[in-house]
Amino acid sequence: MVRIYHNNRCSKSRATLALLEERGAAVEVINYLDTPPTAAELAALLKQLGMTARQLLRTGEDEYRTLGLDNLALGENALIAAMVAHPKLIERPIVVANGKAALGRPPEAVLAIL
């Protein structure tokens, strides 16, 4: 089973989902804006991605500036909490397969974990 943290309004997310389906993958779609990951789930995803919370933040979102997330003194837990409370801040799409995770930017990047 392949899991995708998906936003249907995002062209990269739609392209990644289409690529997975073209490959015949059984895909569990999680619309993360409606069902955000918990802090523990997001921490686990970050570990699988090999990324820090700051690297997964969408810095162009209004919430990023409004919440002062550009403050480098903010640690992992604070950034994770912000992403859980404001899932729009999470870069997308995230695909999980075979105990690994990849960011679908570009969509083909997820093929390495299938």
Active-site residue (options: 10, 39, 81, 114): 10
What span, in angstroms and rounded, lies between the C-alpha atoms of 43 and 37?
9
Identify each DSSP E strand in 19-62 by its residue range. 27-31
Instruction: Look at residues 96, 85, 105 and name the one whose alpha carbon lies nearest to residue 5.
Output: 96
| Max Cα distance, the chain (Å) | 44
Tokens at 23, concatenated: 């490959």
The answer to whether 10 is a known catalytic residue is: yes
Catalytic residues: 10
